[in-house]
Amino acid sequence: MFAGIVEETGAVKSLEKTLAGTRLTVLASTVMDDLPIGASISVNGTCLTVVKRDDKEFTVDVSPETMGVTNLGKLSAGSPVNLERAMKLNERIGGHLVAGHVDGVGTIRERQQEGNGTVITIEAPPEILRYCIPKGSITVDGVSLTINEVSGRSFSVMIIPHTAKVTTLGLKQQGDTVNLESDVIGKYVERLLQERGQILPKSEIVIDRDYLQKRGLI
């Protein structure tokens, strides 16, 4: 579990894709302290497990499922990534409860300066927008943010200069993709209401050729 408060931006050293799977190695400094093998770490909002490490870098394995629902496959050597170690229960939660389980990928459609902040409009799939409400929380590439507005196809957030400086969101431009995770509380509320028959269940996932290709299964 994470808080969505990025500790540092690391840099991709390598992304190796083989028949056995994908292995990602990241150069970092701050998060290397107290990051043993087997620990969970958020990379651009994706919860991954450390399988190898030394003083200046760590390596994680990325499953076909994770490759299919995130934008990690677009990373290359030198790409900056947002990093956060799993939170401790005795610390303040500066953002909101983040599982690191990416729901899908959104696309930045607009960046607009407003005062000292930047309003970013992100187009998102319906299965993510259903959990978006004004002043609610959402995780964008691992960053906990507050939703300003929601439309039929997108939502907007504002980032302050500090967030732009210490995360990759300051570098993202129109057309770039971002990993999105909806607020987990909304999902639980929906599930409880479904069990009580007060709302209709979500449509079932269709396992077709496109679904399998996105997850690297064919």
Q: Are 183 and 133 in contact (CB under 8 A)?
A: no
138/76 Cα distance (integer angstroms): 26
| Closest by Cα among 172, 171, 178 to 155 | 178
Burial class (CB in 10 A: 0-12, 13-18, 19+), 142: buried
Residues 61 and 115 in one domain: no
Residues 110 and 62 in one domain: no
Determine, yes or no, domain membership for 25.
yes
Determine, yes or no, domain membership for 213.
no
**Cα torsion 149, 187, 69, 46: sign:** positive
Residues 62 and 121 in one domain: no
Residues 130 and 191 in one domain: yes
Determine, yes or no, domain membership for 70.
yes
CB atoms under 10 Å from CB of 198, counted, come to: 9
Residues 128 and 187 in one domain: yes
Task: Read off the CATH number of the domain in which 124 is found.
Answer: 2.40.30.20
Range of the domain at 61: 8-85
Kindly state the average pLDDT of the residues 148-153. Answer: 94
Determine, yes or no, domain membership for 161.
yes
pLDDT at 211 over 80: no
Q: Please report the pLDDT score of residue 21 as a whole number.
A: 84
For β-strands 177-182 and 154-159, DSSP reports them as: unpaired
pLDDT at 4 over 80: yes
Please write the tens of the pLDDT for every residue from 7-17. Answer: 999 999 999 99
Q: How many residues does the chain have?
A: 218
Q: Are 205 and 211 in contact (CB under 8 A)?
A: yes
Determine, yes or no, domain membership for 20.
yes
* pLDDT-based confidence at residue 30 (cuts at 50, 70, 90): very high
Residues 190 and 117 in one domain: yes
The residue with tokens 């610390």 is 91
The residue with tokens 């990993």 is 179
Q: Between 88 and 82, name the one with better pLDDT.
A: 82
What's the domain count of the chain? 2
Determine, yes or no, domain membership for 97.
no
pLDDT at 204 over 90: no
Residues 189 and 149 in one domain: yes
**Can you say how many angstroms the Cα of residue 168 is from the centroid of all Cα atoms in its chain?**
12
CA distances in angstroms from 203 to 20, 192, 198, 206, listed in the order given: 32, 16, 16, 9
Residues 81 and 114 in one domain: no
Token digits of residue 90:
């005795």
Greatest CA separation found in the chain? 53
| Closest by Cα among 163, 65, 74, 155 to 108 | 155
Kindly state the average pLDDT of the residues 51-58. Answer: 97
pLDDT at 57 over 70: yes
Determine, yes or no, domain membership for 148.
yes
Residues 188 and 114 in one domain: yes
Q: Please report the pLDDT score of residue 198 as a whole number.
A: 66
Residues 191 and 110 in one domain: yes
Determine, yes or no, domain membership for 149.
yes
Q: Please report the pLDDT score of residue 192 as a whole number.
A: 84
* Cα angle for residues 178, 181, 182 (degrees, 5° grid): 130
